[in-house]
Chain A
Amino acid sequence: MAVEPWQTAEIPGPKKALVITKPEVVVAMMKRAQRPVLIVGHKAVEIELGNKKVVDYMIELAEKAKIPIVATAHMINEFLKRNYKPAGFMPAVDIGNRLTDPEWNGLDGKGPYDMALFVGLPYYMEWTILSGLKHFAQNLKTITLDNVYHPNASWSFPNISIKDWIENLKVIIEKIEGGA
């Protein structure tokens, strides 16, 4: 399968994300991570997945996997409206920047994260932040949960339909039960 970036001209490489062919891969990697963090951008409240939004799936995922969420932009408000208090909130560039600092001990001060999952940033913003991390945070694994291929992540889904996206997220949430 030819995997292309979602924005046609955003040609990456030589190093490109490995393609997630089935959602179980994400589950396995999350389980393997010691200190994962999930970064949720503002598009998570704009994109509808059936009768829910991306953000609703993320809350479910975070609760099941017991993984901290960092809300970027004004997403904190959307989480609070859903009675969920993320572990932290800060601008996308700030969390990106902190993740490149090997001495940053995370939101809880307990040590550096070893995995960052991203979802819902504008494509080009996520693209560039993941690029910053690819080059300057080499101990960090990055995974994107978007339905578009993000070549600068360590792992990414290819460009998939909304329907497949929903299915994938459901599988991940179901199989992560018991904590990452």
Chain B
Amino acid sequence: MSRKNVHLKVDEFKGNIGLIKNLEISIGKIIEEKWEEPMGPTPFPSLTTLRDWDFKLLQRFKPFYLPFCDVCCLCTFGKCDLTGNKRGACGLNMSAQQSRIVLLACCIGAATHIGHARHLVEHLIEEFGRRHPVDVGGVNVEVEAPVTRLVCGIKPETLGDLEAALDYCENQLTHLLSITHTGQEGSNLDFESKVFHAGMIDQVGMEIADLAQISAYGFPKANPEAPLVELGFGAIDIQKPVILCIGHNVPPAIGIVDYLTENGLQGEVEVCGLCCTAHDITRYNPKAKIVGPISWQLRFVRSGVPDVVIVDEQCIRTDILIEAQKVKAPFIATSEKNCQGLEDRTHDSPDKIVEDLVTGKVPGVLILDPEKAGEVAVRVAIEVMPRRGKFKVIPNVENVIEEAKRCRQCDKCRRACPNDLPIPEAMKAAVEGNLEKLNELYDACIGCARCEHACPENIPVHNFIVKAAEKKMKAETFKVRAGRGPIQDVEIRNVGGPIVLGEIPGVVAFVGCANYPKGGKEIAEMVMEFAKRRFIVVTSGCAAMSAGMYKNEEGKTPYEIYSGDFDAGGILNVGSCVSNPHIAGAAIKIASIFAKRKLRANYEEIADYVLNRVGAVGVAWGAMSQKAASIASGFWRLGVPVIVGPHGIKYRRMLLGRADKQEDWYVYDARTGEKVYVGPTPEHLFYAAETKEEAMVMIAKLCMRPNDTTKGRAIKLTHYIDLHKRLYGIMPEDIHLFVRTIADVPVTMKDEIIKILEKKDWKETVIPDPTLLPRLIRKKKE
């Protein structure tokens, strides 16, 4: 494929960090300069351009390594025992090795999104042309690509323009991956800086993917009233042929919807999805349905409901072909990245492929043409449904009781279960005809089937759980708002002030996968709690689905109870994994649109703004994937703290502040150049909470920022104290660290708090115009 080379030339640029002469950047292709904003200091940053900023963050939020493995086996010198920070044969010590693994994970995550974006952009250019405009909200979204503008310094206007940013991402990614080779970086902090870099370019890659698909497919464009779509196992009409799409890259699913429309078959076939592809089909066609998060894969397929299983890429069970075969459901793979050993039938006639799949001549096919895959999926589903009769592998109750008798109470299932579920006890009860204990396991079961593989008696444990919980599962009928895409500029103008002053207590984003410790219900509970408290609640990915899986007494789900506005008390689903940059983008737009900070290639200043002023927190309660790691790291560099659930500790590195070290919490007052103590705001950058209660208290706390006005701080403190008292049964013991002047103290608790302040020897300080960047000081101290 031909791509011209980009050339960005700036003869002389005088910026805050000095004079840049003859800056030339050649990546990808020429972008016509139509953007009036002058170029900022760091267009297309290289591996080390933002290293100073990273080190400022890492100075405060020091890595705490939690090795998940004591050895390194990445080269043939190994295995090397790194116990106790020993060095391996190449000289690397344990801290560096851990940060190296984090970098590797983030490279995998970023590569996955960037590769996804590349495939999507190539496909859409083929279909819609290079000149197809990037339009994600018309006049409502004039800053259409905040992350790309900020990082790259370009303003993409057409699908073709997006390629330049992708070229840059791929280039950086290659360098980043190379750093994990034996005998490169030796310092853990430099590895960490590169982790941030990977996260930042990941945000660019994701943004491009979502801009491209919103623009080309006409997904909701920054629409707070995006349609409510059906969600849940019970929402799927099993009287119809059912096509199940799993994965993240939506073109094949679009192929299905288009084929149905073109052939007048809408309403005849049920199209549903799992994971992000599900979000993206409903953004294309709100009649499509979402079964649920990724952990519903096995239970749904095994229940026999889908007549065809079609997969694209990412987070798909790699044994899903085998599972589809068990229920006699034809299988279609559609991605070069996930071929499943199947024969490539891309160039065969649809008639022939349909025949082979319907008659069961082949269990599955690979079709690398989304339109053809769409046609085949529909025709096969219609023809195969009567033949397979929704054949399922979930046993009946008698079978469960009978088979449970084989259980020898060996505990192997439980010891394989990531959530340590008491399966043997449930088996014992089942033998006595009581399936209630199996039913109880359903909510916290993430559907991994490790229990089954561990069982020496080959008992299909997961199937038993699904059977026992059948009623509850079939009653899963909820609503989720289809992914709305970006936040409008006018929404930012309206809430920018209240957020930066602290009067809207925070923006909380629930994102990521479904590796929950105690079920997805916890997400819905947290979402409801913070919406009720009038935080702005944003959701995406599998978490957006879990957030919808709750009903109040009137049968209403969170998305029906609360509005989809980016405003206090709103719950807004931005969309799939690749929609996450709209959340980062909102923070960036607050700095640029509301505070009028220069956006173009001005990463450090904007991140400094976000860290010190925008009370935003990400929560990835069930973070599982490498993508989730890179998504989180993109938020870290931008100054947005991220909380993960307890399983997130297996990312093996936290970035923790030390509230007890006063010296860590000084900023410059940009007005005077004085150094001012601002308390641990925010206290951590990356942090795994043990329980939902702990996460909730921490969310409220991490929303505090040095810039909060006294009124804003009082509001934030009220939420923090209130949640702390309710969930911990006691006043927080660190209030004095967050009170700068008496006016910060919530009036209703004044007496109580002042007593605490006195006991803690508290001293009043000033509220600065906070920054970590000396160059932003307006009046230098003599």
A contact set with B: CB distance below 8 Å: 6-9, 12-15, 41-42, 72-74, 76-77, 80-81, 89, 91-94, 96-98, 100-101, 104, 121-125, 128-129, 131-132, 134-136, 138
Nearest-Cβ distance from residue A78 to partner chain B, whole angstroms? 8
Q: Is the CB of A12 within 8 A of B415?
A: no
Q: Is the CB of B649 within 8 A of A73?
A: no
Minimum CB distance partner of A80 in chain B: B729
Other A-B contacts than A6-B415, A74-B694, A91-B694, 12 sampled, CB-CB below 8 A, are A6-B420, A14-B70, A14-B83, A76-B728, A77-B729, A91-B687, A91-B690, A94-B656, A97-B64, A124-B647, A135-B82, A135-B84
- Contacts of B471-524 to chain A: CB distance below 8 A: 517
Q: For B238, list chain A residues within 8 Å (CB).
A: none
CA of A81 to CA of B156 in the docked complex: distance in angstroms?
A: 59
Minimum CB distance partner of A12 in chain B: B70
Is B310 at the interface (CB under 8 A from chain A)? no
Nearest-Cβ distance from residue A108 to partner chain B, whole angstroms? 13
Q: Is the CB of B454 within 8 A of A74?
A: no
Q: Is the CB of A124 within 8 A of B650?
A: yes
- Contacts of B656-685 to chain A: CB distance below 8 A: 656, 658, 660
Q: Is the CB of A97 within 8 A of B654?
A: yes
Q: Is the CB of A15 within 8 A of B690?
A: no
CA of A9 to CA of B517 in the docked complex: distance in angstroms?
A: 18
Nearest-Cβ distance from residue B341 to partner chain A, whole angstroms? 26
Q: Is the CB of A136 within 8 A of B85?
A: yes
- Picked from A77, A94, A100, the residue with its CB within 8 Å of the CB of B730 is A77
Q: For A42, list chain B residues within 8 Å (CB).
A: 690-691
- Contacts of B545-564 to chain A: CB distance below 8 A: none
- Picked from A9, A13, A125, A136, the residue with its CB within 8 Å of the CB of B690 is A125
- Picked from B82, B647, B689, the residue with its CB within 8 Å of the CB of A73 is B689
CA of A98 to CA of B767 in the docked complex: distance in angstroms?
A: 29
Is B646 at the interface (CB under 8 A from chain A)? yes
- Contacts of B438-458 to chain A: CB distance below 8 A: 454
* Chain A to chain B contacts (Cβ below 8 Å), 10 pairs: A14-B81, A72-B690, A72-B694, A73-B691, A73-B694, A76-B730, A77-B730, A80-B730, A93-B687, A96-B64
Q: Is the CB of B690 within 8 A of A135?
A: no
CA of A129 to CA of B68 in the docked complex: distance in angstroms?
A: 10
CA of A100 to CA of B84 in the docked complex: distance in angstroms?
A: 12
Nearest-Cβ distance from residue A13 to partner chain B, whole angstroms? 6
- Picked from B94, B658, B698, B729, the residue with its CB within 8 Å of the CB of A135 is B94
For B417-454 the 0/1 string (1 means CB < 8 A from A) is 01010000000000000000000000000000000001
Q: For A132, list chain B residues within 8 Å (CB).
A: 64-67
Nearest-Cβ distance from residue A92 to partner chain B, whole angstroms? 5
Q: Is the CB of A14 within 8 A of B71?
A: yes
Q: How many contacts A-B (CB < 8 Å)?
A: 119
Q: Is the CB of B66 within 8 A of A128?
A: yes
Q: Is the CB of B454 within 8 A of A131?
A: no
For B81-100 the 0/1 string (1 means CB < 8 A from A) is 11111000000001100000
Q: For A123, list chain B residues within 8 Å (CB).
A: 420
Nearest-Cβ distance from residue A32 to partner chain B, whole angstroms? 22
Q: For B420, list chain A residues within 8 Å (CB).
A: 6-7, 122-123
Q: For A97, list chain B residues within 8 Å (CB).
A: 64, 654, 656, 658
Is B693 at the interface (CB under 8 A from chain A)? yes
Q: Is the CB of B64 within 8 A of A135?
A: no
- Picked from B415, B517, B652, B728, the residue with its CB within 8 Å of the CB of A77 is B728
Q: Is the CB of B691 within 8 A of A93?
A: no
Minimum CB distance partner of B647 in chain A: A124
Q: For B67, list chain A residues within 8 Å (CB).
A: 128, 131-132, 135
For B393-423 the 0/1 string (1 means CB < 8 A from A) is 0000000000000000000100110101000
Q: Is the CB of A128 within 8 A of B64?
A: no
Q: 4 tightest CB-CB pairs across the interface, nearest first?
A: A74-B693, A77-B729, A73-B690, A128-B66
Is B727 at the interface (CB under 8 A from chain A)? yes
Is B574 at the interface (CB under 8 A from chain A)? no
Q: Is the CB of B70 within 8 A of A125?
A: no
CA of A82 to CA of B266 in the docked complex: distance in angstroms?
A: 61
Nearest-Cβ distance from residue B647 to partner chain A, whole angstroms? 7
Q: Is the CB of B690 within 8 A of A138?
A: no
Q: Is the CB of B646 within 8 A of A124?
A: yes
CA of A7 to CA of B451 in the docked complex: distance in angstroms?
A: 11
Q: For B730, list chain A residues within 8 Å (CB).
A: 76-77, 80
Q: For A13, list chain B residues within 8 Å (CB).
A: 70
Q: For B418, list chain A residues within 8 Å (CB).
A: 124
Given A8-B454, A122-B420: A135 in contact with B691 (beta carbons within 8 A):
no
Is B107 at the interface (CB under 8 A from chain A)? no
CA of A77 to CA of B646 in the docked complex: distance in angstroms?
A: 19
Q: Is the CB of B727 within 8 A of A7?
A: no
Q: For A125, list chain B residues within 8 Å (CB).
A: 646, 649, 688, 690
CA of A136 to CA of B63 in the docked complex: distance in angstroms?
A: 12
CA of A111 to CA of B420 in the docked complex: distance in angstroms?
A: 37
Nearest-Cβ distance from residue A116 to partner chain B, whole angstroms? 15
Minimum CB distance partner of B454 in chain A: A8
Minimum CB distance partner of B81 in chain A: A14
Q: For B81, list chain A residues within 8 Å (CB).
A: 14
Nearest-Cβ distance from residue A103 to partner chain B, whole angstroms? 10
Q: For A94, list chain B residues within 8 Å (CB).
A: 656
CA of A155 to CA of B618 in the docked complex: distance in angstroms?
A: 37
Nearest-Cβ distance from residue B63 to partner chain A, whole angstroms? 10
Q: For B646, list chain A residues within 8 Å (CB).
A: 122, 124-125
Q: Is the CB of A8 within 8 A of B412?
A: yes
Nearest-Cβ distance from residue B597 to partner chain A, whole angstroms? 33
Q: For A81, list chain B residues within 8 Å (CB).
A: 729
Q: For A14, list chain B residues within 8 Å (CB).
A: 70-71, 81, 83
CA of A176 to CA of B82 in the docked complex: distance in angstroms?
A: 36
CA of A100 to CA of B653 in the docked complex: distance in angstroms?
A: 14
Q: For B68, list chain A residues within 8 Å (CB).
A: 128, 131
Q: Is the CB of B84 within 8 A of A138?
A: yes
Q: For A92, list chain B residues within 8 Å (CB).
A: 690
Minimum CB distance partner of B420 in chain A: A123
- Contacts of B635-661 to chain A: CB distance below 8 A: 646-647, 649-650, 652, 654, 656, 658, 660
Given A125-B688, A128-B650: A73 in contact with B693 (beta carbons within 8 A):
yes
- Picked from A89, A124, A131, A136, the residue with its CB within 8 Å of the CB of B728 is A89
Given A93-B688, A97-B654: A74 in contact with B83 (beta carbons within 8 A):
no
Q: Is the CB of A91 within 8 A of B698?
A: yes
Nearest-Cβ distance from residue B294 to partner chain A, whole angstroms? 19
Q: Is the CB of B728 within 8 A of A91?
A: no
Minimum CB distance partner of B696 in chain A: A74
Nearest-Cβ distance from residue B422 to partner chain A, whole angstroms? 11
Minimum CB distance partner of A101 in chain B: B658
CA of A93 to CA of B655 in the docked complex: distance in angstroms?
A: 10
Q: Is the CB of B649 within 8 A of A129?
A: yes
Nearest-Cβ distance from residue B67 to partner chain A, whole angstroms? 5
CA of A74 to CA of B416 in the docked complex: distance in angstroms?
A: 27
Minimum CB distance partner of B86 in chain A: A135
Q: Is the CB of B83 within 8 A of A15?
A: yes
CA of A72 to CA of B687 in the docked complex: distance in angstroms?
A: 14
Q: Is the CB of A91 within 8 A of B85?
A: no
Given A6-B415, A8-B412, A91-B689: A76 in contact with B729 (beta carbons within 8 A):
yes
Q: For B652, list chain A residues within 8 Å (CB).
A: 128
CA of A100 to CA of B418 in the docked complex: distance in angstroms?
A: 27
Q: For B647, list chain A residues within 8 Å (CB).
A: 124
CA of A123 to CA of B517 in the docked complex: distance in angstroms?
A: 11
CA of A129 to CA of B418 in the docked complex: distance in angstroms?
A: 17
Q: Is the CB of B689 within 8 A of A131?
A: no
Q: Is the CB of B649 within 8 A of A93?
A: yes
- Contacts of B37-80 to chain A: CB distance below 8 A: 64-68, 70-71
Q: For A131, list chain B residues within 8 Å (CB).
A: 66-68, 70
CA of A135 to CA of B86 in the docked complex: distance in angstroms?
A: 9
